[in-house]
Structure 1
């Protein structure tokens, strides 16, 4: 693992100045990504805000943290000074909070026309749900994509925060922010980026919608290779209770899979496996029984060097030790914890994670009581 957090070399976003209003979940992650790639990110925290769920020190790596009372004239004046020197602003409050503080986009863009004002919420700045509470699971549910993760007879299950908060939220907002900054170089004008998690998740579903439009996606799980009914696209339990993932969609990969499982004689003869769904139940039982005969380490060795599209299901503690992650330096050590390296990798100006934020690093200025809440449309 990479054991350094050196910031000696500037990243590709060097010179970009961001003011982030402290929040929870996806907005702090977006600021973290910008800081990792070299932007100068200043976080405006309320006193004591570092203890909140889904934000705080762990996501303030490489940022400058200041504390300010956003309800005091002095605090607001200082924040406006910070924004006046920034290229962009990030906020994740519920709709209307920034306007009530006198920090809404109309006010700030009037004084700073080139400012890019990025807003991240669960449901967006308008619409009938804009003021409703919600969480990652709710936004994904409304997108129409959750059934694509369903298993027979079970409710859909999703990895926490990854699809909604980070994919549909933080990463979508980051892309919008970069688009607006690029456009401002030509027009000399800033604009508002309205990033709603529910919108972003829906957009991420474009590939599936394209498959549906082309007749390549069947809503019937008995005929849909992605919906955990086939023998070649699912996770199967090994003898030691560990799990092996199979993703052999194309016919050559499926053939390689069945050969290494010593089940080639029972493999489908169809040119493409999705055309042979009638055989799936029998073949699935055979594959499941075969994989249960040996521990995970055995199957890892069996499929070494194979194009059968097989990978072990690793724990969070195991992943940093995997040879592939180590070869690509996909994790780095900080305070005794293995953290994921920023992605993607830029070969000439790579990201360099900054030092972890600590209480002693916070600049106390204009602090005072502050009951500004993070975006309650997210329920956090």
Structure 2
């Protein structure tokens, strides 16, 4: 049993695990919206609140969600948001510390109305500390936590990865995991919870395997060691067609399979670092003899851990990806996880304005709804889309 406030409207039921769960999403950019997309994929009703200068959430993560717009500077807008929070199980926001409080949407205010509310704040640096109010992005959080300093070659600057580590793994996925943990606890205690998800914390947690071995033979410095490019049997090689093949033959049996299949000579001691230059030179020469796809076919089923490096637009034609996710494509990644070997189809994407429908279902009159978000406010709200409008004026 929970102490969630009774709702005048209940989430629509479906056959997914989170059916009946209502989530209010006031987050922006990527980490919060991707977190709530994961919840929507599994059946939660996610209501995204847009409005004001911040605009609307990225449409990239819109599937399975409903969208409303509120003027949170107006008393009626704040009251409408509070009515939503009273009916909700989860509230997600990603403003800098203190902003939600100024909007009347802070944890204390909403928890007073709904003691069973799970409230999750997703920020880069967390709710406290010297940098809590600082601006940042994925690269900033990786830089601060030592992740960026461990990536890339020894003789150059750190390699900048896509914003997957802090934003999505350390932010979105950690937030979703934390929310589900808090909901499980609420099922026992009936009490809500405040969750402070900081992307720097998530990035640090992901380094659990690597912090302890930094400066050792396993990971002596950037670009050297077992797992970050220094190891010749855990890296990528250029092929005849200019494309790349990945090699991940860490264990002895996999390295033996790789060497015997590719080189056909006595297998060297791959754990002896003194042999690494010879192994790398041998692999570089061998892999240049054929194209990437020829090598992929050559090593298929050989237990050598050799896999083609595919560009994002190539993966949808790979037979294994097609088998696992026959309905997925570049604009619609698969729903995860897969339960009982039956993948769920992706929910529909509908970014129509549902302000009137949702607020009226909560018992607000049309006059109250119009004051909560006047027509002029709705029309001026900017849309956020991905990708941004980058231009090249050099031509």
- TM-score, normalising length from structure 2? 0.83
1:372 offset after TM fit, Å? 10
Aligned residue in 2 for 1:357: 350
The whole-number CA distance in structure 1 between the counterparts of 2:341 and 2:276 is: 48
- The question of whether the paired residues in 2 share the 8 Å contact of 1:58 and 1:357 is answered with no
1:146 offset after TM fit, Å? 2.4
**What are the superposed Cα offsets for residues 314-336 of structure 1, whole Å, 9 maximum, x if unpaired?**
11111111111111126525xxx
Aligned residue in 1 for 2:168: 166
**What are the superposed Cα offsets for residues 172-199 of structure 1, whole Å, 9 maximum, x if unpaired?**
1111111111111111111110000000
Aligned residue in 2 for 1:23: 28
The whole-number CA distance in structure 1 between the counterparts of 2:221 and 2:31 is: 34
Higher RCO (C-alpha under 8 Å, 6+ residues apart)? 1
1:135 offset after TM fit, Å? 0.7
The whole-number CA distance in structure 1 between the counterparts of 2:302 and 2:164 is: 29
1:140 offset after TM fit, Å? 1.1
User: How many matched pairs?
Assistant: 354
- The question of whether the paired residues in 2 share the 8 Å contact of 1:325 and 1:331 is answered with no
Which one of 281, 299, 306 corresponds to residue 303 of structure 1?
Answer: 299
The whole-number CA distance in structure 2 between the counterparts of 1:17 and 1:105 is: 17
Cα pair distance change 1:57/1:19, threshold 3 Å: same
1:299 offset after TM fit, Å? 0.3
Aligned residue in 2 for 1:281: 277
Instruction: Please list every run of 5 or more consecutive structure 1 residues that lacks an aligned counterpart in the other structure.
Output: 1-6, 374-380
The whole-number CA distance in structure 2 between the counterparts of 1:330 and 1:193 is: 36
- TM-score, normalising length from structure 1? 0.86
**What are the superposed Cα offsets for residues 32-74 of structure 1, whole Å, 9 maximum, x if unpaired?**
1100010010000116866x6xx42221111010111111111
Secondary structure of the residue aligned to 2:337 is: coil
The whole-number CA distance in structure 2 between the counterparts of 1:168 and 1:119 is: 13
- The question of whether the paired residues in 1 share the 8 Å contact of 2:121 and 2:197 is answered with yes
Aligned residue in 2 for 1:217: 218
Instruction: Please list every run of 5 or more consecutive structure 2 residues that lacks an aligned counterpart in the other structure.
Output: 1-11, 357-368, 383-395
Secondary structure of the residue aligned to 1:192 is: strand
Secondary structure of the residue aligned to 2:209 is: helix
Which one of 112, 115, 135 corresponds to residue 113 of structure 1?
Answer: 115
Residue pairs, 1:61-210, within 5 angstroms: 61-209=63-211
- The question of whether the paired residues in 1 share the 8 Å contact of 2:154 and 2:221 is answered with no
1:235 offset after TM fit, Å? 0.8
RMSD of aligned residue pairs (Cα, Å): 2.6
Aligned residue in 2 for 1:14: 19
Cα pair distance change 1:344/1:211, threshold 3 Å: farther
